[in-house]
Amino acid sequence: MRIHQCLFNAATFRRVFDFGEREVAHWFPGHMAKGANPLFQENLDVRPNLLILNKMDLADTSKKQSILKRLEREGVRNVLFTDCLKQRDENVKEVVPFVTKLIESGPRYHREDDRSYCLMVIGVPNVGKSSLINAVRRTYLKKGKASKVGGEPGITKAILTKIQVCDRPIIYLLDTPGVLPPRIENIETGMKLGLCGTILDHLVGEDIIADYLLFSLNRLDRFGYVEKYNLEGPCDDIQHVLKCIAVKLGKTKRMKAITGVGNITVQVPDYTAAAYDFIRAFRKGELGKVLLD
């Protein structure tokens, strides 16, 4: 398809996403309810804390300075960007010196003899908390995985035992379940959280997540999906896109059809499997780096 035709088609795409009567499921099991406290931020502010923005390999690093400035305006100054899946991430090496300095310079630090520290790792689901613990441990102790990781939220369901990650000084980290507010009031915020994998896909619906992803990519003029799935051009019809993905990847399922001469079994495109592949490709950065404002 010619470039001008693609641009013309894109100009006619949706500018507003119709959520209809849908509601984002409130994935808030018991292990998360225990960690959600309305005074959580207030309690956190009285202790030294470091904000780690992980998965930087999936982020648009050109926005790094603007992100730091925005955080500074909000009073957040201790920030590190990491990619914990890299075997050697220079920023992971900064974690121990950073937290050591914060602790020892804090007004509540009065320990002359005890040189061991215990820190809690907290955050929303599926941002790589367990991966961070493993990465710091691998960097400083040359040890393997100590905390279970996975590609979906909810892998860690309870606070584990203390995991040593460094011996000079002795530092222990506590892995914790991901926490979200008890209720997500804004449905679009909920959709962005679902798109980033902080809520289990099936609780929101793979179809609506895929549709919102297509809407977001088109709105931001990010058409990497066209090349990945060999489409003719940008498209605003999620059913058409998922059908093309299913055909390309051979994702089909059997369905019984009732005809005038009896029942037959036919192969039809598996839209759910196609939607899952589309969403997973976005989360792995295969559709380009996208900033969801």
For the CA atoms of 286, 228, 209, 130, what is the dihedral angle to 10 degrees?
A: -20
| Contact indicator for 95, 80 with CB cutoff of 8 Å | yes
pLDDT tens, position by position, 245-266: 999 999 888 777 666 666 777 7
143 pLDDT above the threshold of 90: no
Would the annotation count 131 as a binding residue?
yes
Query: Between 137 and 1, whose confidence is greater?
Result: 137
Would the annotation count 63 as a binding residue?
no
User: For 222-241, what is the mean pLDDT?
Assistant: 92
pLDDT at 147: 63
- The Cα–Cα gap between 104 and 117 comes to 10
- The Cα–Cα gap between 260 and 283 comes to 45
pLDDT at 58: 80
Would the annotation count 207 as a binding residue?
no
pTM greater than 0.75 (yes/no): no
Tokens representing 241? 């896109």
Would the annotation count 127 as a binding residue?
yes
pLDDT tens, position by position, 187-202: 787 788 888 887 777 7
Query: Between 157 and 81, whose confidence is greater?
Result: 81
pLDDT tens, position by position, 77-123: 899 999 988 878 889 999 999 998 888 887 665 556 667 888 888 88
Would the annotation count 130 as a binding residue?
yes
239-to-46, 212, 270 alpha-carbon distances in Å: 50, 12, 11
- Between the two ends of the chain, the Cα-to-Cα distance in Å is 30
Would the annotation count 1 as a binding residue?
no
